[in-house]
Structure 1
């Protein structure tokens, strides 16, 4: 049976702006649209047209939502949260690699608090529940800004999932599957974490970001198989995240490799031996 507006009510743009936009805050305006191709693409275009930091765009449905490396992200209308935002961090560019992890950590923290489920990070950009993908994060540099989008599965049924390895808050029987409080909590947590990171000049240790990410990341301490461009493969143990947000992987020969998100096609559990 298809969902109705009672099951999947629309978001209130006015309520989100009242709750999240304030003088001196990071968020300068929340726009909710019924449908678009890609919220990230729309905000990238806005930035090129002079858009400023703090713009947030939420779509009730996306026809061409994107993940990393051009992967698609599609879900039924009002079944999830597709949120993109413009950030312009005044920190060294070398530290911008932390932004996807920062947004992922804040979103996981908010969802864990409201949903009362154990949400973990998968480096560099996924949120997982028991190894099933709940959300993805995509960051793109546009001029001097970074456009970051997050797509969260909220009320998708098993037959609506894009892939069998995905999940939703409804499937996980989360305590909260109401998109409006979830959106408010996610954006509030992103703002708080972002401001702490900016105040520390993007230093992930001084701001506590690295410690929090390490504690929340399911990848660290596991044997993994990293698929690299050109059908190359790296198998080793994920041992940490460096000061730039890169994943540290130690291979069987004892060599340590630093991998940026742009270096990686997939990160998967290593095959059993």
Structure 2
């Protein structure tokens, strides 16, 4: 019964039903106070409900029972979310210093440092993690994102190209690469990357909208408008986004009335698929 309840809690957590996940985890912990999986679900559920401070004490007790880098990393995150950033970052540094390395601790630490504006330190943390796990694609992607935030597009592109070559079926990598290519004015390359990503995830409307921007900047007005019509088809709430894209691109269109944009893009039902 306890195993079944735990599976229900995990399922609720993955579905972002945080209150339900918390309720089930609490029922397990009443009879098994040291149940590690239930504690993990409980703490994640509290963080998901912006109640991180309530997770700190049980996590601290669990960490005292023995070395557990996953619990320690979660404790660091809970401390940071509880407005105890200094304590949280200190905990994450301690966990990241452990060997063998627990890579999520590096990622959490880098994320918290970046949030506090310490981009240089955040980049150094991920670089250290990559020396310990040089073939880790997720770390390469993290580093590229941090470099992009630091406006170092050359390094960001280098890491993204390496990540793409190592994991060609990852649309998230292709989308990040396309963003760098677009910012560098390489619109044809960016369009190619967006198309590749859409081939893997055809229903991604945001990526299709970005593709439309690339096509518009390349002077392919018809292609851009076709992409935007696909974006708004059946999704009238995205009309303002599509109209904005048409207005800001160098080869786009501007409409004074939303109804005119809706008619042009077929969001009013006048155009058929």
Give TM class, smaller chain.
Answer: under 0.3
Q: Which has the higher strand share?
A: 1
**TM-score, length basis structure 1:** 0.26
Which of the pair has more CA radius of gyration?
A: 2
> RCO higher in 1 or 2 (8 Å CA, sep ≥ 6)?
1
**TM-score, length basis structure 2:** 0.26
